[in-house]
Amino acid sequence: MALAAPAAHARAEATYRPQANRLGLWLFFLSETFLFSAMISARFVTSGTDTPEHLNQPLALGITIVLLLSSISAYLSENAIAHDDRAGFIRYTRITIFLGLVFTAGVVLEWQEALADFPAGTIYGSAFFALIGLHAFHVVTGIMALGVVLNLGGKGHYGSEDYWPVEGTVKYWHLVDLMWVVIYPSLYLF
Amino acid sequence: MDTDEQLERPVPSSTQQEKVRLGLIVAAALAVLTLIEYVIAVGIDDPLIWLLPFVIAKFALILEYFMHFSAVLGKGDH
Amino acid sequence: MRALIRAVSGGAGGYVIAAFVTSLITGGSVSDGVPVTFGYIFALLGWLHGIGVWNAWAREWFGLPPKPDNAKGWTRYFTFSTDHKVIGSQYLVTFLVVFLVGGLMAMVIRLELAGTGEGFIDADTYNKVMSMHGILMVAVAVAAVLGSFGNYLVPLMIGADDMAFPRINALSFWLIPPVAISLLSAPLLGSFEAGWTAYPPLSVVAAGDGQLLFNMGVITFGLSSILGGLNIITTVATMRAPGMTWGRLPIFVWATFSASLLSLVITQFFAASLVLIHLDRVAGTTFFGAAGGGDALLYEHMFWFYSHPAVYIMVLPGFGVALEVITHFSRKPLFAYKAVVGAFLTIVGLSSLVWAHHMFTSGMAAYLHAPFMVLTEAISVPTGVIFLSAVGTMWRGKLWMQTPMLLAGGWVFNFLIGGITGLFLADVATDVQLHDSYFVVAHFHYTIIGGSIFGLLAAVFFWFPKITGRMYNETMGKIFAVWVSVALALVFIPMFWVGVNGMNRRVNDYQQDLETANNFISWMALLLGLSFVLFAVNLVWSALRGPKAPDNPWGASTLEWQVSSPPPEHNFPLLPEVVGHPYDYGVPDAQHAVVGGSAKSED
Ligand code: HEM
Ligand SMILES: [Cu+2]
């Protein structure tokens, strides 16, 4: 198995233990949810639902759709490896990474505009940069993790019997989308 | 230790194609919800109350169909 | 040792390079906010890389075979070892050292307060020493029992060979030394002076950039607590030996499990609040700056949403230790086991709903006072249940007054005082008078020392023979137990009195008429400090020279005592099978577990 480690003590992790791995990952998600909740509540406590005039709504909607598309391709890539479709796995993971990069580029573009319209020194700007920054950090780490599984999957790791790293990474990617489902309306729409 | 637990892994209950279709349907639903959200937000002042159901629906769809939340509770496939 | 040297040089190198490069890019000085931030992040990465995260773990991400450090003997304590017993011992020694360092700072504080006026140190330095003492001791209380005994004992007690995620476990320990180093090196950047609570606006506007190290160090510490909590929950949920049902878990396991639930989720609020402080300091945001539309009360809410439940992260493991010791040394089944478990879980739920009792005088909306007062007082109910269980277990038991039992008895007494004085603070009418006075200081020292540190001390003596394979010196132990209990009362009971008489906390001066009392407290604090010299001598000497300990010196029933002292590498030669309740003392033919008798082999 891919994660097999020779050290005697690493064996607990090396054995395929879907229950423990899944539970651990969900606990981590639960914890992350609290982090995002803390930051989102900071936004509402300090600036309510106020939004500035200059928000670039079309761009935000665009990157939201991009992130959604990347979630589908991530779903398809996990589904592919679960059925031993390695070519499909590689294709969809590549698409996911590409869409993730497009999303990140969108954020960079948006920040450049935002810095001029509502700098971090304004109260909406504070929430805007902190929240989107936190989210973008998760996007970037998600892209890195996808890169790792893409590389290993390309080298023949994983298969229908053993694709926990893919499953975990894809779930993390969905978490990133899940958080955006709340952040997007909190910052742009409400 | 391994044999025991590997036996517990659920047998895939649907084919790859069925899953692809399911995923696409969910994604389409998410896209539609997002667009409605956007339209409401642009059209109405103070749309918080109107948007919340959409946020919750999207949240639940992703949690269940993309992240297989119920699997962690021990039921559901996958 | 090589790993440690690599880690230190990785950390130092990471810091210097990152801080230097960023300062070139931003065009400022290396000690500005942004370079320090990046310096810290890369120092942390360099440190982890050096200690073995790369070799033992990250290589796999690139398809390379991992190269774990298989050091044997004492050097394995300085490597990225994934053995939960090694990690537990690493935690224990680290936090005992931090505890002693924090204790020295308390001596400095008391030296200054021994007389009125500015005596030993000036007001500025006083704030810095007091802040450092606070955060170090809070860290000790949060992690000393949970990190060390939690890691060491939970797998043993549930009959598992290790934690669910051994490498995450090693990671959560190796995140700790950078925290200690960054906090202790904060004086190089001008220290931090906003107390362990780091309230803005002071933490944002204070000149000392040591606040930056405080923020990042504490966030790192939070990460370690979260990962540790995650690991313990998963371990208890998925790795119990056959027959180890939830209803048969030793009470210490339940206690760590409950504390882990709390630390898993709420720690994020402390992390988030410090991230915001950090952004306000270095990135020009204005979350807490009233001038830019921010709100300092937001910080207090976020902070206490963590820090009140955190006091239960501190004491729940202590409760577990005390109940464990009391039942073994009373030779009676634990009284009201199920009610105690219920109480633990009720505390987990309730404790995250009471935070604003720290904010009665802060100017928050007045309609919040009553609900927070009532909910806070409601917490005394589950706490009372735990207390009753301790007393009920001792009631008519055959008490065996060894050192651990003496300390567990001290726990009962001290925690009672802490809990009762909490009620005066929970009551809005009295708290308006008592807030920010020495009454609060005495209250929380009674709860934390009484609830958490006494748990730690009892645990150290109780499991010393198991962990070291040697016996501590009983006479010295008993003298220490009595000495520390008496000295504690002599220091902190007068503090209630000076608090009621108007002495402010966190100020290096006070009214003339309180000088005699304070002078007395300072001498007694010295007495308390000295008791720990005896403690240290006993432990160090016994660990090196003490007589060999038998496998089960206390004749205790739980699983960790059924293996050799110290336990073998994978804990149990054969998978144990649990057949009964852990504390059926006095029940004829009762048995908790069959060790080595079951046919199924582990590997
Ligand atoms: C029955 C239980 C308890 C009650 C009703 C209670 C109540 C309170 C209240 C109302 C305050 C705020 C006082 C003020 O600042 O004006 C307070 C402060 C404090 N309590 Fe408790 N408490 C209880 C148990 C504990 C426990 C178990 C711990 C720790 C292990 C603890 C640790 C603290 C700390 C550290 C503070 C001061 C925090 C600071 O301002 O730095 N308390 N307590
Ligand atoms: Cu509190």
Question: What pLDDT is attached to residue B13?
Answer: 52
Tell me: do C97 and C151 sit in the same domain.
yes
The verdict on the CB of residue C448 being under 6 Å from ligand 1 is yes
Per the structure, the complete domain to which residue C59 belongs is given by 1-68
Contact A124, A51 (CB under 8 A): yes
Tell me: do C179 and C268 sit in the same domain.
yes
Tell me: do C468 and C359 sit in the same domain.
yes
Q: Identify the residue among B2, B15, B38 best suited for mutation to test binding to A, counting A beta carbons within 10 A and taking the highest.
A: B38
Question: What pLDDT is attached to residue A5?
Answer: 34
The DSSP string of C45-71 is: HHHHIIIIIHHHTGGGGGTPPP-----
Chain A residues contacting C, CB < 8 Å?
2-3, 5-10, 12-13, 17, 19-20, 23-24, 27-28, 30-32, 34-35, 38-39, 41-42, 45-47, 119-123, 125-127, 129-130, 134, 148, 151-152, 155, 157
Question: What pLDDT is attached to residue B4?
Answer: 45
Q: CB within 8 A of C95, min separation 6: which ones?
A: C139, C140, C143, C144, C147, C148
The verdict on the CB of residue C319 being under 6 Å from ligand 1 is no
Q: CB within 8 A of C494, min separation 6: which ones?
A: C517, C520, C521, C524
Residue C103 Cα to ligand 2 midpoint, Å, equals 23
Q: Is the CB of A176 inside 8 Å of chain B's CB atoms?
A: no
Task: Give me chain A's average pLDDT, please.
Answer: 89
Residue C354 Cα to ligand 2 midpoint, Å, equals 7
The encoded tokens of residue C526 equal: 């010295």
Asked if the structure places residue C102 within a domain, the reply is yes
Task: Give me chain C's average pLDDT, please.
Answer: 93
Q: Which of C40, C68, C96 is the last residue of a domain?
A: C68
How many C-beta atoms lie closer than 10 Å to residue A131's C-beta? 20
Per the structure, the complete domain to which residue A152 belongs is given by 4-188
Q: What CATH number did the domain enclosing A40 receive? A: 1.20.120.80
pLDDT one-digit tens code per residue, C157-188: 999 999 999 999 999 999 999 999 999 999 99
Measured in angstroms, the CA of C167 and the nearest CA of chain A are apart by 7
Question: Residue C599: is its pLDDT beyond 80?
Answer: no
The verdict on the CB of residue C358 being under 6 Å from ligand 1 is yes
pLDDT bucket at C269, cuts 50 / 70 / 90: very high
How many C-beta atoms lie closer than 10 Å to residue B74's C-beta? 8
Question: Residue C224: is its pLDDT beyond 70?
Answer: yes
Question: What pLDDT is attached to residue B5?
Answer: 46
Is the previous residue joined to C582 through a cis bond, with omega within 30 degrees of 0?
Answer: no
Q: Which of C39, C68, C97 is the last residue of a domain?
A: C68
Distance between CA atoms of residues C55 and C69, nearest Å: 8
Question: What pLDDT is attached to residue A153?
Answer: 94
Give me the percent of chain C exceeding a pLDDT of 90. Answer: 88
Question: Residue C67: is its pLDDT beyond 80?
Answer: yes
pLDDT one-digit tens code per residue, C405-422: 999 999 999 999 999 999
The verdict on the CB of residue C314 being under 6 Å from ligand 1 is yes
Asked if the structure places residue C269 within a domain, the reply is yes
Measuring CA to CA, which residue among C393, C390, C431 is closest to residue C413? C390
The verdict on the CB of residue C452 being under 6 Å from ligand 1 is yes
pLDDT one-digit tens code per residue, B9-68: 444 556 888 889 999 999 999 999 999 999 999 888 888 889 999 999 999 999 999 999
pLDDT one-digit tens code per residue, A11-68: 344 445 778 899 999 999 999 999 999 999 999 999 888 888 888 899 999 999 999 9
**Tokens 């807030």 sit at which residue?**
C435
Q: Residue C594 phi/psi, 5° resolution? A: -105, 115
Q: State the average pLDDT over residues C217-222.
A: 97
Nearest CA to ligand 1 atom 27: C447
Tell me: do C33 and C127 sit in the same domain.
no
Distance between CA atoms of residues A169 and C167, nearest Å: 18
Tell me: do C112 and C50 sit in the same domain.
no
**Eight-class DSSP state of C587:** S
Amino acid at C238: T
Q: Which residue has the higher pLDDT, C207 or C37?
A: C37
Asked if the structure places residue C73 within a domain, the reply is no
Start-end of H helices in chain A = 11-14, 18-47, 57-82, 86-117, 123-154, 164-184
Distance between CA atoms of residues C350 and C376, nearest Å: 8
pLDDT one-digit tens code per residue, C574-589: 889 999 999 999 888 8
Counted domains in chain A: 1
Chains that touch C (3 or more CB pairs under 8 A): A
The encoded tokens of residue A100 equal: 């993730």
Measuring CA to CA, which residue among C459, B28, C278 is closest to residue A75? B28
Question: Residue C367: is its pLDDT beyond 50?
Answer: yes
Tell me: do C29 and C146 sit in the same domain.
no
Least confident of C302-306, C353-357, C396-400: C396-400
Nearest CA to ligand 1 atom 36: C444
Measuring CA to CA, which residue among C417, C409, C273, C422 is closest to residue C354? C422
| A100-104: long-range contacts, CB 8 A cutoff, minimum separation 24 | A100/A70, A100/A139, A100/A142, A100/A143, A100/A146, A100/A173, A101/A143, A102/A63, A102/A66, A103/A63, A103/A66, A103/A67, A103/A70, A103/A139, A104/A136, A104/A139, A104/A140, A104/A143
Q: What CATH number did the domain enclosing C98 receive? A: 1.20.210.10
Residue C418 Cα to ligand 1 midpoint, Å, equals 8
Question: What pLDDT is attached to residue A4?
Answer: 35
pLDDT one-digit tens code per residue, C275-315: 999 999 999 999 999 888 899 999 999 999 999 999 999 99
Question: Residue B2: is its pLDDT beyond 70?
Answer: no
Q: Is the pTM of this model over 0.80?
A: yes
Q: Do A6 and C68 touch (CB under 8 A)?
A: yes
pLDDT bucket at C15, cuts 50 / 70 / 90: very high
Question: What pLDDT is attached to residue A3?
Answer: 37
Q: State the average pLDDT over residues C21-48.
A: 93
The verdict on the CB of residue C310 being under 6 Å from ligand 1 is no
**Eight-class DSSP state of C290:** G
Q: Which of C36, C68, C100 is the last residue of a domain?
A: C68
Measured in angstroms, the CA of A120 and the nearest CA of chain B are apart by 24
- Please state the ipTM of this predicted complex: 0.93
Contact A138, A183 (CB under 8 A): no
pLDDT bucket at B73, cuts 50 / 70 / 90: confident
Measuring CA to CA, which residue among C364, B68, B3, C215 is closest to residue A45? C364
Left if phi > 0, otherwise alpha if psi is -120 to 50, otherwise beta: which for C117? left
Nearest C-alpha in C relative to A148: C61
Nearest C-alpha in A relative to C66: A5
Tell me: do C161 and C46 sit in the same domain.
no
Q: State the average pLDDT over residues A131-158.
A: 96
Question: Residue C600: is its pLDDT beyond 70?
Answer: no
Counted domains in chain C: 2
Tell me: do C276 and C416 sit in the same domain.
yes
Q: State the average pLDDT over residues C46-50.
A: 96
Q: Do A7 and C285 touch (CB under 8 A)?
A: no
Amino acid at C155: P
Tell me: do C147 and C256 sit in the same domain.
yes
Question: What pLDDT is attached to residue C590?
Answer: 84
C441 Cα distance to chain centroid = 18
Tell me: do C107 and C209 sit in the same domain.
yes
Tell me: do C63 and C95 sit in the same domain.
no
Residue C444 Cα to ligand 1 midpoint, Å, equals 6
Nearest CA to ligand 1 atom 33: C444
The verdict on the CB of residue C362 being under 6 Å from ligand 1 is no
Q: Do C167 and A13 touch (CB under 8 A)?
A: yes
Question: What pLDDT is attached to residue B74?
Answer: 64
